[in-house]
Structure 1
Amino acid sequence: MSRILLAFLMLCASLASLPAQTPPKIKVLILTGVNGHDWRATTPLLREILERTGKFDVHVNEEVRGNTLVTFSPYDVLLLNYSDWRNAGPWWDNGARQALLDFVRNGKGLVSYHFSMSAFAGWPEFDKLVGGTWRETAGHGPYHPYTVTIVDREHPITKGMPATFAENDELYHQLSLQPNIHVLASAFDDPNNCRKPGEGCGTGKDEPLIWTLSFGAGHVFQTALGHDVKAMQSPGFILTLERGTEWAATGQVTIPVPDDMK
């Protein structure tokens, strides 16, 4: 055997023995700083849920004003935990709004979490961006236990998940929905679940709670689940958030379904 061939074989053997390279982590930027809900409690938990998978590198931005595409460009996906519902400031300036649209339109990802869908009333492009919004017709009955049904079990986010999972949370209803959303999960809104007798009741219909859509070249994932830290402990919320964020960033899902969710 020639020395050159021997050296080549030894090199191949040494390369084969090297550990496989770990893929780079998905870079996530949580945009928050104001919300009609307790963002100071939910933001750290959103970060923890994603980072403990080992797949995400999560940063937080609490200053919504002055953001540009340069601010967002180092990241693969933005996660909105923000709402200026009923004029609760501070507000995004026009440049920051345009940067959000351009970021997703150019092929990056967006996750819109829970009440973030109520942001930017009067800005039609945001309604198109997230696919469904909380506007004046929207509401919910009291916080209560209910069953979430997976509508599409073949989508990468929900593939391998059980047909249903339990939640104890708010159940949003009568959202303003865009025609191009792809609903992944819904729940029956019990008409007997009322804030007080005969008022603030469920609709008696299946209400969409989790959906996806495309915006330009980018992917958008919206979940209406996760009202507070208590609701965010749900295995169904955690798994769909993890897998939905990965899908929004990459178009693929590699995070496995745990045995207790199969």
Structure 2
Amino acid sequence: MKLKTSILTFVIGLFLAMPAFSQGGGQFRVLVFSKTAGFRHQSIPEGVAAVKKLGQEQGFGVYVTEDANQFSDENLAKYDVVVLLSTTGTIFNDDQKAAFQKFVQSGKGVVGIHSATDTEYEWPWYNKMIGAYFLAHPRQQTLRLQVKDKTHPSTWHLPENWLWYDELYEFREVNPAIKVLINADESTYQPAKPMGENHPMAWYHEFDGGRVFYTALGHVESAWKNEVFLQHVHGGIWYAAKGKLPQ
């Protein structure tokens, strides 16, 4: 009896250590990584479930893990996109960092959501890759988001003026090479540390051989049930995987 219990415990532990998946194959494969070493957002389960659902509906594979050991050359080769879903703090060791860099340099894609910018403050490559570091945020508020670029698949469907409620990030060490998609209109809410007229909230760029999309939105659980926001996320994933923009 004890032997059977030990075997069962081992099997369950092995299963939990492996990436969960919603669907195999498809157009491309996405690894959703939501490890936190700092603040943990309550919306992470909703975000994971929503990306899984997107994969099922849009025909791409979604695999989910919080195990940084999955960041190895061999394992990352299976994926086309890594989604950093509200990660925080220092989450990679040196070997995992090297594998992640090789993944990007091989032409793959990265999607950062919300607190992906509140991650790896001591890693300059990461700062340039993700596009900025989190600085501060005020209380959750409704504001006007200005959609500056509607030629990107993450913004095709959005109005030029998008009224949105969320936790609104302000940034430091912004990479000047990012291409801003959405800007925060600070005249429509009360910022904690104003950035002025140039206050990016979503962006993309090509970096070190790969493609990166980031959105600061997605703090609140309700965002992950909003079809407009989900289309925004889907467009970012699709860009990171395919790298296709209108000519």
- For this structure pair, what is the TM-score category when the shorter chain's length is used for normalisation? 0.7 to 0.9
Structure 1 residues 24 and 192: CA distance shift in structure 2, 3 A: closer
2:63 maps to 1:59 = yes
Give the drift of 1:27. Answer: 0.7
Give the aligned CA root-mean-square deviation in angstroms.
Answer: 2.5
Shift of 1:50: 2.2
- The C-alpha deviation readout for 1:152-187, integer Å capped at 9, x for no partner, is 122343235321222110111133210100001111
**Residue 70 of structure 2 contacts residue 76 of structure 2 at CA under 8 Å; is this kept in 1?**
no
d(CA) in 2 for partners of 1:234 and 1:202? 27
Q: Is the 8 A contact 1:45 1:229 kept in 2?
A: no
In 2: Cα distance, 1:249 partner to 1:164 partner: 27
Q: Is the 8 A contact 2:50 2:225 kept in 1?
A: no
Q: Which residue is equivalent to 2:54?
A: 50
For the pair shown, which has the larger CA radius of gyration, 1 or 2? 1
1:33/1:39 CA distance change after superposition, 3 Å: farther
Q: Counterpart of 2:232 in structure 1: which amino acid?
A: T
Judge conservation of contact 1:39–1:81 (CA < 8 Å) in 2.
no
1:80 partner letter: L
SS in structure 1 at match of 2:205: strand
Alignment-derived partner of residue 120 in structure 1 = 120
Letter in 1 for 2:238: E
Instruction: Please identify, of 228-237 and 142-151, the stretch whose mean Cα deviation from structure 2 is larger.
Output: 228-237
Distance, in Å, in 1 between the alignment partners of 2:78 and 2:47 is: 20
The amino acid that maps onto 2:99 is: A
Partner SS, residue 48 of structure 1: helix
Evaluate the alpha carbon distance shift between residue 150 and residue 82 of structure 1 in structure 2; reply closer, same or farther with a 3 A threshold.
closer
Contact 2:113–2:214 under 8 Å retained in 1: yes
Equivalence for 2:110? 110
Aligned amino acid, residue 111 of structure 2:
V
**1:159 correspondence with 2:151:** no
Secondary structure, aligned partner of 1:248:
helix
AA partner of residue 164 (structure 2): E
Segments of 5+ residues of structure 2 without an aligned counterpart are: 1-24
Give the TM-score taking structure 2 as reference length: 0.79
For residues 39 and 233 of structure 1, the distance between their equivalents in structure 2, rounded to whole angstroms, comes to 11
Q: Would the aligned equivalents of 2:204 and 2:214 in 1 still touch at CA under 8 Å? A: yes
CA distance in 1, matches of 2:53, 2:173: 29
Q: AA paired with 1:47?
A: V
Distance 1:219 1:185 in 2: 18
Residue 140 (structure 1) shift: 1.4
Q: Give the gaps of 5 or more residues in structure 1.
A: 1-22, 195-199, 255-262
Structure-2 change in CA distance of 1:146 and 1:233 (3 Å): farther
The one-letter amino acid of 1:179's match is: P
**Counterpart AA for 2:75:** T
Identity %: 26
